Amino acid sequence: MKPPPFRYHDPGTVDEAVALVSSLDNAKLLAGGQSLMPMLNMRYVLPDHLIDLNRITDLSYIEESGGRVTIGAVTRQRDIERSDLLRRRCPLLRKALRQVGHPQTRNRGTIGGSLCHLDPSAELPAALAALDATVHVVGPNGARDVPMADFPAFYMTPAIEHDEILGAVSFDPWPAGHGSAFVEFARRPGDFAIVGVAALLEPGPDGTVGRAAIALAGVGPGPVRCAAAEERLAGRAPDADAIRAAALTCADIEAMEDIHAPSSYRRHLAVELTSRALHAALAEPGAGSPK
Amino acid sequence: MTGVGELPETRSVTLSVNGERHEIDVETRMTLADCLRRKLGKTGTHLGCEHGVCGACTVLVDGRSARGCLMLAVQANGAEITTVEGLASRGGEWHPLQQAFHEHHALQCGFCTAGILTSMVEFLGENPDPTEDEVREALSGNICRCTGYQGIVRAVLDAAGRLRARNGAIAP
């Protein structure tokens, strides 16, 4: 028996889940289980209580209302990947998800689980950072919203209290005709990315860039927005020189170092992959093309 | 049953495995893969890494591939599970994937085979006419240490053709 002994709870509603998590000591929340189950199997975590969110059907949905897209926390990654609504309104998520693990893990893995696990190299947090998403958290005193920029509190630690659960994430989709790309480097398909880049480009007047959003995975504890690169592009014609100049702003970012890659290599990848992501986003119909 | 307040705790679950219904008591911490192997004797599902990387324990849960080591058996309550034992027809005729794996020498030790077969059942169901690159990417979630994958890729492409022919033959 690999996992340690725990008491198992499978609430059917968000209220029940919040009541459990705010009253039980040393409890872990189980969403898709594609990160927590390995940690249980290896006994890296030893919870006294496991609160399984998979029976809460209210947390599994993708909807658009008032021009804003909301995705429930326990929505499977595979369902997001295949959603017609998101394919139309936010192709970036599908592009990011195609590089998350494998179909076998995306069938179980959830968007909320990926956000809360907050692996530094994870694709979904980077994509949601580029989208300026808002995380909706539910606790014993009601709901509160956390901007994606404030969501990572520390290495692999989201800004969620021990008695709260993540309910949903929402964002304003970019207008039709925007370009998007998610580009990453990993040693094999499905491996953790060493560096990943989410890019969004909105065309402006006269062939210029109206708005750009770029977020990096794999360089810091949480997703890193490249404000300098975004500013370099806005209002400019997106030719190869402008893209190069924007990408080069990543050359001196602070990048982490671990057994997989030194920080110098991560900075190199940040520049190169940002350039590739911008070219790919620009090559999309409606987004314009490099002159 | 264990006493109230004591661990390990157990629960009664109902699983349908390859069309057979089972009502069993499982420890809540037992993985689906361990449950299939130890409680139900379905030892065709193999356990390699037990943390979701090798793919050997992949089974179909309500038609979708999933790592048997990354799900608890209690979470499969009410689900339809397909293991490698459920791929051949009731009469014993191999699934076209199994036949193609046999003919193309797509296995040596066989440890990874069950997980590859179940993964490819789902893949070919969604993508009946894949390119070789798509097959290679689809296989990336399953690790084989014997074959070098060449025979596996050939077998999957061949099986795709057999399945198209079979499904074409019964289409109106």
Query: Looking at residue B1, what is its pLDDT?
Result: 40
Query: Looking at residue A289, what is its pLDDT?
Result: 55
Same domain, B103 and B134: yes
From B7, B50, B65, residue closest to A2, measured CB to CB: B50
Q: List, in order of start, the domains of chain A with CATH numbers.
A: 7-52 (3.30.43.10), 62-171 (3.30.465.10), 179-282 (3.30.390.50)
Contacts 24+ apart (CB under 8 A), B166-170: B166/B96, B167/B128
> Could you say which of B86, B110, B134 is where a domain stops?
B86
Print the domain residue range for B64.
Answer: 10-86
Residue from B9, B37, B60, B70 whose CB has the most chain A CBs within 10 Å, to mutate: B70
Q: Which residues of chain A have pLDDT under 50?
A: 291
Residues 6 or more apart whose CB falls under 8 angstroms from that of A31 comprise A53, A54, A73, A74, A109, A110, A112, A113, A116
Burial category of A163 from C-beta neighbours within 10 Å (exposed 0-12, middle 13-18, buried 19 and up): middle
What ipTM is given for this predicted complex? Answer: 0.94
Query: Looking at residue B86, what is its pLDDT?
Result: 97
From A2, A3, A104, residue closest to B141, measured CB to CB: A104
How many separate domains does chain B show? 2
Could you give the percent of chain B with pLDDT greater than 70? 94
Return the half-sphere exposure (C-beta side, CA atoms, 13 A cut-off) of residue B113: 22
E-assigned strand segments in B39-78: 58-61, 64-67
From A42, A54, A107, residue closest to B66, measured CB to CB: A107
pLDDT at B171 over 70: no
DSSP helix/strand/coil, A12: coil
Same domain, B80 and B20: yes
**How large is the average pLDDT for residues B35-52?**
97
> Could you say which of B57, B86, B115 is where a domain stops?
B86
CATH number, domain containing residue B166: 1.10.150.120
pTM for this prediction: 0.95
Residues 6 or more apart whose CB falls under 8 angstroms from that of B5 comprise none
Q: B28 CA to chain A: closest CA distance, Å?
A: 6
Residues in B closer than 8 angstroms to A37, CB to CB, are: 31, 51-52, 67, 69-72
In tens, the pLDDT along B46-84 reads 999 999 999 999 999 999 999 999 999 999 999 999 999
CATH number, domain containing residue B74: 3.10.20.30
